[in-house]
Amino acid sequence: MDQFAGLYNYWIFIVLMMIGFYIVMAQHNLIKKVVGLNIFQVSVFVFYISMSKVEDGSAPIIAEGITVYSNPLPHVLILTAIVVGVATTALALALVVRIRDSYGSIEEDEIEAEERRREKHF
């Protein structure tokens, strides 16, 4: 049981990830799906950054008198990932606005019903 004490925070991040995953799959509203995707992304990033922390380390900015630094490489990767994530969110929201223009609603079941109605007419 002792070794699980250091893994407990990874499990909390996995719980967060699964909450975000459930929101993306099961909620009908498109904006809520985008928010769920955001939660999923943030939990993945926190998981990565938690792997880079070194005990009693400090931020990876070289200064006098500090010997132990946290690993800077995951920070760089996650910095890129955060910016790519916001670009994806912006495009997803633009798509939501376009879907609202075409179908008149942003609920998934109404959109599917409208789609089936239009297919029957062709």
Q: Which of residues 64-93 bind another protein (CB under 8 A)?
A: 68-80, 82-84, 86-91, 93
Tell me: does residue 9 bind another protein (CB under 8 A): yes
Footprint of another protein on 26-45 (CB under 8 A): 26-29, 31-32, 34-36, 38-39, 42, 45
Tell me: does residue 11 bind another protein (CB under 8 A): yes
Question: Residue 100 and residue 104: Cα distance in Å, rounded?
Answer: 5
Beta bridge partners of 69: 58
Question: Residue 69 and residue 15: Cα distance in Å, rounded?
Answer: 29
Whether the Cβ atoms of residue 60 and residue 72 lie closer than 8 Å to each other: yes
Question: Residue 62 and residue 103: Cα distance in Å, rounded?
Answer: 55
Question: Least distance from C-beta 120 to another protein, angstroms?
Answer: 14
Please say which residue, 5 or 116, places its beta carbon nearer to another protein: 5
Question: Least distance from C-beta 112 to another protein, angstroms?
Answer: 13
